Homo-oligomer: A and B are copies of this chain.
Amino acid sequence: MDIIEINKVLSNKTRVNILKWLKNPELNFPPHQDIDHFNDGVCVGYIQDKTGLSQSTISTYLNSMQNADLVIPTRHGKWTYYKRNEDVIQAYIEAIQNEL
Contacts of A19 in B (CB 8 A): 100
Bound state CA distance, A7 and B15, in angstroms? 12
Q: How big is the A interface, by class?
A: 10 to 19
Closest to A99 in B: B20
Q: Is the interface of A mostly helix, strand, loop or mixed?
A: helix
Interchain CB contact (< 8 A) of A11 among B7, B92, B99:
B7
Contacts of A10 in B (CB 8 A): 3-4, 7, 100
Bound state CA distance, A10 and B96, in angstroms? 10
* Chain A contacts to B: CB under 8 angstroms: 3-4, 7-8, 10-13, 16, 19-20, 89, 92-93, 96-97, 99-100
